Amino acid sequence: MSVEKIINDWKKNIYKPIYWLEGDEEFYIDQVMEFAEHKILTPADAEFNLTVFYGKDADWVEVLNACRRYPMFASRQVVCLKEGQQMKDIDKLEPYILNPLSSTVLVISYKGKTVDARTRLAKGIKQHGVILTSKKIFENKLMPWTNEFIGSRGYRIAPRALSLLVDHIGNDLSRIANEVEKVSMNLGDRRDITEDDIENFVGISKDYNVFELQQAIGNKDLAKAITIIQYFEGNPKAGPIQVLLPALYNYFSKVITIFQMNDKSERAIAAMFYGNPYAARQALDTMINYSYSGVEEALLLFHEYNLKSIGINNGGASEASLMKELAVKLIGAR
């Protein structure tokens, strides 16, 4: 069952006794749990009929006792067990799950894991309730998802601003949603989100960030690359070497993969970059500028400078010095 189906059913007062929310994508799990905790019951009913447990501290006996209570002055009660994956002896909830009360709505989040379908626990949930398995979104769907999410909040975002936001955050829907909320709170009456808004309210410089450095190196623009590295030198938190090297290595790893692809269309390549057409065009330019052997050389350089960044054969050089030296060698790659 989907998140939308669960919440729409709840809005229509259609309830199952048990909702088990599992999987790797916390955003959807949190959406359902948030609704269960704050919107199933009215504030007056919640005062007597809402119980919230946290897995790390929850005792299975107390959870069972709460589930077996009857609602006070209401037709139902809600029991939320958050972070159920951290609860010891969660399997001891099995007797209740096999024979739940129809007047209790038990909602359990089980993040980062899935229940073993072979167990009686899983079979009981399926018989009496709902299992929501929340999976990470594919990278090529991330850009459209973010654009649609922003639109659902009544805002529009410029293509470059969208690219900047998604490329910086990556595949973390909860963080994307939080940053969009932060930006929207600062827009006043405006409904359009610009690059400047992303820079000002998310804290990503539109001119000096890892993606601009990536583009400069991909274009073999040494002057621009050095300028960006000097900015990072003066603003260490904006671009630490521990962030820059993995990001650049990941980018060049994708570029070398493109050489081996039969379909080298912009659309096919964009799927490797969160559906970002700008990144696809940039990758094609990098292929032209470096050639296959140049990209291979770049990957070897990233390995060498990763070792230097942790103190191996670096001669005491600073992070900025290492990055400048690396940029010169990368741009000289053939």
Type of residue numbered 56: K
The verdict on 76 and 167 lying in the same domain is no
* Across 180-208, average pLDDT: 91
Q: Give pLDDT tens digits for 275-317.
A: 888 889 999 999 999 999 999 999 999 999 999 999 998 888 8
Per residue in 141-192, pLDDT tens? 888 999 999 999 999 999 889 988 888 888 889 999 999 999 999 999 999 9
Percent of the chain with pLDDT over 70: 100
Residues 215, 312 within the same domain: yes
Instruction: Name the H helices within 39-76.
Output: 43-49, 60-68
Q: Can you give the pLDDT at residue 239?
A: 83
143 and 65 in a common domain: no
Using CA atoms, how far apart are residues 149 and 156, in angstroms rounded to an integer? 10
Q: What is the mean pLDDT of residues 252-263?
A: 94
- Say if residue 293 is in the same domain as residue 242: yes
pTM: 0.72
Residues 105 and 122 in one domain: yes
Q: How many folded domains does the chain comprise?
A: 3
Chosen domain end from 112, 134, 156: 134
Q: What is the mean pLDDT of residues 232-242?
A: 87
Q: Order of strands, edge to edge, in the sheet holding 50-54?
A: 50-54, 77-82, 104-111, 18-23, 129-134
Which pLDDT score, from 0 to 100, does residue 48 have? 95
Both 87 and 150 in one domain: the answer is no
Q: What is the pLDDT of residue 218?
A: 95
Same domain as 146, residue 122: no
Confidence band, pLDDT 50/70/90 cuts, at residue 244: very high
Where residue 154 sits, what CATH number does that domain have?
1.10.8.60
Q: What Rg do the C-alpha atoms of the chain give, in angstroms? A: 25
Chain segment 104-123, per-residue pLDDT in tens: 999 999 999 998 888 999 99
Are residues 47 and 125 both part of a single domain? yes
Using the structure block, give the residue that is written with the tokens 């999976």: 135
- In terms of residue numbers, what domain contains 298? 210-331
Which residues contact residue 299 at a Cβ distance below 8 angstroms, ignoring those fewer than 6 apart?
249, 252, 253, 256
Q: State whether 164 and 231 are in the same domain.
A: no
Q: Which of 108, 134, 160 is the last residue of a domain?
A: 134
10 lies in the same domain as 103: yes
Q: Are residues 79 and 171 located together in one domain of the fold?
A: no
* Residue whose token pair is 């077996």: 68
Domain boundary among 95, 118, 134: 134
Model pLDDT, residue 111: 95
136-140 long-range contacts (CB < 8 A, ≥24 apart) are 136/24, 136/25, 136/171, 137/25, 137/171, 137/173, 139/171, 139/271, 139/272, 139/273, 139/274, 139/275, 140/270, 140/271, 140/272, 140/274, 140/275
The whole-chain average pLDDT of the chain stands at 92
With contact defined as beta carbons under 8 Å apart, do 66 and 94 qualify?
A: no
pLDDT of residue 290: 94
For residues 127-149, average pLDDT: 91
pLDDT band at 31 (very low <50, low <70, confident <90, very high): very high
- Position 320 scores a pLDDT of 92
Per-residue pLDDT tens digits for 214-226: 999 999 999 999 9
pLDDT of 28 higher than 80:
yes
For residues 126 and 238, membership in a common domain is answered with no
Q: What span, in angstroms and rounded, lies between the C-alpha atoms of 135 and 204? A: 28
Residue range 66-104, pLDDT digits in tens = 999 999 999 999 999 999 999 989 999 999 999 999 999
